[in-house]
């Protein structure tokens, strides 16, 4: 006889470092429905624009999320620059993009580690995180911080990253490659990893489009969409850019897409470092936004498309700051992917969307 | 035989309303480069197994009961480490409308470990400090004493209480730390902080 019950998942659960609560309606050990409940990390920082001025708020924007910190601060700074009609030097765009791509590598390696941890492969988790430390070491030596870099100002950068340091970054990445390839080989070809990932939590391309899924989660289901392909800012300098897409839509495909994106990010950094212009690093602007001036920016975060909106009111404080983060888009896909799966696969599926709760709730 | 809790402290981690920066650093401190595991530190997901509670991020009305519940489920002797400046005082989000304050608004904190984000070295330092407090608590308990007379619990002011609607009384929110430590009586809070907020 089928027995129906509700199991609470989270907010404190070992698979995720973040608090996400789901009510899982199950019949025997199949999930019928997953009802997410959020609000554990809500701080209300969009409203803080009333108390912090435009420049101070850059630090708050960076702390929307500690994993996507670089992306958030670049997104906020560029949205403000559009609002103020400032053209930043090419070098600023290139350095921002290089740091952003580095943070994509660190974020994906972090995710790969958590994935290995979720299916009980502790050694692989440690290998991924040890590799990730090399990226953090780059951050620490070029910017001072390991996760929060605070290098962006509205109108430029706080300090330059010298050409010799940039060459060092490329060297580190090249040295990482063999280790990284061995890691990917284990994730994609090892039997025990494949068994856990193949055919789990499948989402078709049609569903992915209907649910507006973004980022690697959507691309694993065949959605050919990556904000970087529009060639904004430094991405215009790339010879070619193709979004990485897989078609299976299962956990394995999501792992595949992220693995390939790390290599792609390494290539992008190498290409950008070779082409970086020397036209100064700008600096903090002294302008104040006009009443009603608006700026909007869309960037590709490690987890997908993120949208930034700022509106001025003639004072140094912004009238409105709004960000739409990738995980808020992907939560619908998450609940869809959880329908009909075995209870034992739930942590794995939640993890493969790479949820970032503190981005989502702010 | 010489019993010592500190030889293998098991930790449990909960993300209050942190930005993830401290969470990944807490996890990074357990991975091979920093390797807190060499001190016998094991990360567990079960509050009943844990000796040290690592909390990151500030507390709000939604997660305050969760933090309290995890704390209450842990067995004595236990230690609480507030990881990162948000957990210590609310940090940059202190003025945000949904932030009540540091973790000491919910539970007694034994070790305050600052940083934004907290560095793995600081995490390990804080865990080692917490181990000392664990040992003290254990000694007190073996002598038949009360573990709450040791560490942060001895001087804790009680934090904030949530009303029946699940929220903190309006005026107390956001200014909890000042009022709490100044007069030590949660009931005495309302008037002054409210006025200060109006003035802003």
DSSP A256-305: HHHHHHHHHHHHHHHHHHHH---S--B------PPEEEEEEEEEEETTEE
Interchain CB distance below 8 Å, A43 and B117: no
Interchain CB distance below 8 Å, B63 and A358: no
Best of A10, A39, A41 to substitute, by most chain B Cβ atoms within 10 angstroms, is A41
| Strands laid side by side in the A21-27 sheet | A4-9, A21-27, A30-37
| Exposure on the CB side of residue A163, measured as CA atoms within 13 A | 7
- C-alpha angle A203-A306-A42 in degrees, rounded to nearest 5: 95
CATH topology for B5-156 is Rossmann fold (3.40.50)
The token duo for A11 is 């907010």
Percent share of chain B, pLDDT over 90: 8
Domain segments of chain B as ranges:
5-156, 157-200
Q: Which residues of B touch A303 (CB under 8 A)?
A: none
Interchain CB distance below 8 Å, B117 and A65: no
Among the partner-chain residues B19, B33, B95, the one whose CB lies closest to the CB of A130 is B33
Q: From CA A20, how far away is CA A346, in angstroms rounded?
A: 13
Q: Find the CATH number of the domain harbouring A268.
A: 1.10.645.10
Which DSSP helix (H) or strand (E) runs through A185?
Answer: helix A163-189
Counted domains in chain A:
1
Would you state the pLDDT for residue A197?
85
- The neighbour count for residue A18, using CB atoms within 10 Å, is 27
State the residue range of the domain holding A315. 4-361
Which pLDDT tens digit goes with each residue over B11-33? 898 888 888 888 888 888 888 88
Q: Which residues of B touch A41 (CB under 8 A)?
A: 15-18, 57, 63
Would you state the pLDDT for residue B135?
86
Residues of chain A with pLDDT under 70: 1
Backbone angles phi, psi at B196, to 5 degrees: -60, -40
* Mean predicted confidence (pLDDT) in B103-119: 89
| pLDDT grade for B178, boundaries at 50, 70 and 90 | very low
Q: From CA B154, how far away is CA A26, in angstroms rounded?
A: 45
Quote the ipTM score. Answer: 0.81
CA distance B91 to chain A (A): 10
Q: In chain B, which residue's Cα lies nearest the Cα of A43? A: B98
Q: Which residues of A touch B197 (CB under 8 A)?
A: none
Q: How far is CA A274 from CA A136, B124, B137, in A?
A: 22, 40, 59
Q: From CA A9, how far away is CA A340, in angstroms rounded?
A: 16
CA distance A154 to chain B (A): 19
CA dihedral sign, ordered A13, A15, A16, A21: negative
The token duo for A168 is 């060092």
Are the beta carbons of A14 and A350 closer than 8 angstroms? Answer: no
Are β-strands B10-15 and B52-56 bridged in parallel, bridged antiparallel, or unpaired?
A: parallel
* pLDDT beyond 80 at B188: no
Which pLDDT tens digit goes with each residue over B140-163? 888 888 878 887 777 887 778 777
| pLDDT grade for B6, boundaries at 50, 70 and 90 | confident
Among the partner-chain residues A14, A17, A130, the one whose CB lies closest to the CB of B32 is A130
Q: Which residues of A touch B15 (CB under 8 A)?
A: 17-19, 41, 358
């Amino acid at each position: 006889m089928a027995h129906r019950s509700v199991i609470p998942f989270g907010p404190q659960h070992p698979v995720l470092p973040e608090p996400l609560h789901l009510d899982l309606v199950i019949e025997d050990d199949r999930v019928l429905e997953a009802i997410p409940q959020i609000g554990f990390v809500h701080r209300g920082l969009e409203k803080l624009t009333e108390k912090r001025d435009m420049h101070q708020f850059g630090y708050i924007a960076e702390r929307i999320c500690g994993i996507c910190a670089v992306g958030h601060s670049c997104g906020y700074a560029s949205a403000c620059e559009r609002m103020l009609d400032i053209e930043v030097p090419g070098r600023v765009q290139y350095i921002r993009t290089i740091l952003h791509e580095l943070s994509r590598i660190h974020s994906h390696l972090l995710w790969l580690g958590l994935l290995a941890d979720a299916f009980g492969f502790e050694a692989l988790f440690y290998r991924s995180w040890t590799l990730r430390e090399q990226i953090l070491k780059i951050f620490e030596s070029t910017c001072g911080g390991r996760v929060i870099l605070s290098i962006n100002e509205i109108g430029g950068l706080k300090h330059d990253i010298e050409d010799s340091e940039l060459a060092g970054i490329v060297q580190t990445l090249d040295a990482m490659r063999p280790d990284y390839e061995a890691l990917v080989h284990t994730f994609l070809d090892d039997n025990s990893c494949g068994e856990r990932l193949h055919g789990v939590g499948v989402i078709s391309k049609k569903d992915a489009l209907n649910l507006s899924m973004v980022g690697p989660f959507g691309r694993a289901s065949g959605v050919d969409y990556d904000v970087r392909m529009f060639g904004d800012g430094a991405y215009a300098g790339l010879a070619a850019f193709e979004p990485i897409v897989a078609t299976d839509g299962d956990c394995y495909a999501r792992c595949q897409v992220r693995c390939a994106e790390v290599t792609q990010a390494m290539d992008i950094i190498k290409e950008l470092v070779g082409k970086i212009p020397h036209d100064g690093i700008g600096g903090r602007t002294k302008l104040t936004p006009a009443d009603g001036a608006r700026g909007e920016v869309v960037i590709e975060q490690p987890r997908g498309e993120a949208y930034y909106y700022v509106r001025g009111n003639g004072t140094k404080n912004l009238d409105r700051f709004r960000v739409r983060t990738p995980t808020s888009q992907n939560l619908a896909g998450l609940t869809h992917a959880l329908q009909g799966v075995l209870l034992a696969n739930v942590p794995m599926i939640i993890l493969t969307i790479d949820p970032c709760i503190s981005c989502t709730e702010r | 035989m010489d019993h010592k809790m500190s030889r293998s402290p098991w930790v449990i981690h909960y993300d209050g309303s942190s930005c993830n920066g401290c969470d990944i650093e807490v996890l990074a401190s357990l991975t091979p480069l920093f390797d807190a595991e060499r001190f016998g530190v094991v990360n567990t997901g079960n509050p009943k197994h844990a000796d040290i509670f690592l909390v990151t991020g500030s507390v709000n009305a939604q997660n305050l009961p969760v933090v309290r519940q995890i704390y209450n489920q842990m067995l004595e002797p236990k230690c609480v480490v507030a990881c990162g400046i948000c957990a210590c005082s609310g940090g940059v989000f202190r003025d945000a409308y949904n932030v009540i304050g540091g973790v000491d608004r919910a539970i007694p904190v034994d070790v305050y470990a600052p940083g934004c984000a907290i560095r793995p070295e600081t995490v390990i330092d804080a865990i080692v400090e917490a181990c000392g407090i664990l040992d003290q608590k254990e000694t007190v308990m073996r002598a038949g004493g009360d573990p709450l007379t040791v560490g942060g619990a001895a001087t804790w002011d009680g934090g904030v209480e949530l009303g029946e609607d699940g929220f903190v009384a309006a005026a107390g929110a956001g200014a909890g730390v000042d009022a709490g430590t100044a007069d030590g009586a949660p009931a005495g809070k309302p008037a002054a902080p409210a006025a200060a907020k109006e003035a802003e």
